[in-house]
């Protein structure tokens, strides 16, 4: 059970980290493609639309941005935890898992039945420009790939620390072979330990 908690924590951290380049890349993309900068602010527009639907009015700007920030990082943490859970159940390389996560995010947020489309935050896919669709895919794919690679980095780092602690003070087993330059193949010795 503790191991599941460690995996989920790594996923949450990976998601939180991935939420930063996602915002930066979409903001850069709006400048490159001449899209209004607000188009990249999907979370804030979603919060605004939800407040208008639920409360019937807009929130004061400071409250709106606080809620939008909480939404963005809560969303990122949730997707990171989901990635970790799925990766624990069915491990995949980051270059496979990241795009799969992106496809799920895109479908649940930006497809014709996605939350952003259903709330009117984003236009129906048939009415969007190719630039808007690319912006949505950039957000989903940059987040998915960053989450997958950061998760993998955190997992490997944790495994290496665990191995170092577990084998502290033990002599490594002598390798059976030498590399071509005469230096002992340490990697072979480590895999046996």
pLDDT per position in the chain (193 positions), as tens?
668 889 999 999 999 999 999 999 999 999 999 988 888 888 888 888 888 888 888 888 888 889 999 999 999 999 999 999 999 999 999 999 999 999 999 999 999 999 889 988 889 999 999 999 999 999 999 999 999 999 999 999 887 776 676 666 565 555 555 444 444 444 444 444 4
Can you tell me whether residue 67 is helix, strand or coil?
helix
Cα separations in angstroms, 60 against 51, 53, 65, 72 = 11, 15, 9, 18
Q: Name the residue ranges covered by the structural domains of the chain.
A: 2-159
Residue from 16, 140, 146 nearest 70 by CA: 16
45-50: Cβ within 8 A, 24+ apart = 45/121, 46/71, 46/115, 46/116, 46/119, 46/121, 47/71, 49/119, 49/120, 49/121, 50/119
Q: Kindly state the greatest CA–CA separation across the chain.
A: 75
DSSP 3-state percent helix, strand, coil across the chain (nearest 5): 75, 0, 25
- 61-89 and 42-55 helices, crossing angle to 10°: 110
How far, in Å, CA of 70 to CA of 73, rounded? 5
Long-range contacts formed by 187-193: CB under 8 A, 24+ apart: 190/163, 193/163, 193/167
Enter the DSSP assignment of 129: -
What is the pTM for the complete model shown? 0.79
Distance CA 176, CA 10 (A): 36
CB 105 within 8 A of CB 136: no
């Amino acid at each position: 059970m503790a191991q599941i908690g460690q995996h989920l924590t790594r996923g949450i951290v990976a998601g939180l980290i991935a939420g930063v380049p996602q915002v930066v890349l979409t903001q850069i993309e709006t400048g490159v493609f001449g899209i209004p900068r607000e188009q990249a602010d999907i979370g804030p527009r979603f919060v605004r639309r939800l407040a208008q639907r639920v409360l019937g009015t807009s929130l004061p700007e400071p409250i709106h941005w606080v809620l939008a920030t909480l939404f963005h990082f809560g969303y990122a943490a949730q997707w990171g935890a989901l990635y970790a859970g799925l990766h624990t159940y069915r491990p995949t390389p980051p270059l496979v898992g990241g795009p799969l996560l992106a496809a799920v995010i895109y479908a649940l947020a930006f497809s014709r039945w996605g939350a952003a489309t259903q709330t009117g935050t984003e236009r129906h896919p048939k009415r969007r420009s190719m630039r808007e669709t690319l912006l949505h895919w950039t957000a989903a794919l940059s987040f998915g790939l960053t989450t997958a690679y950061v998760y993998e980095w955190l997992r490997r780092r944790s495994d290496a620390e665990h191995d170092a602690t577990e084998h502290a003070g033990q002599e490594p087993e002598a390798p059976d072979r030498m590399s071509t330059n005469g230096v002992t193949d340490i990697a072979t010795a480590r895999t046996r330990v």
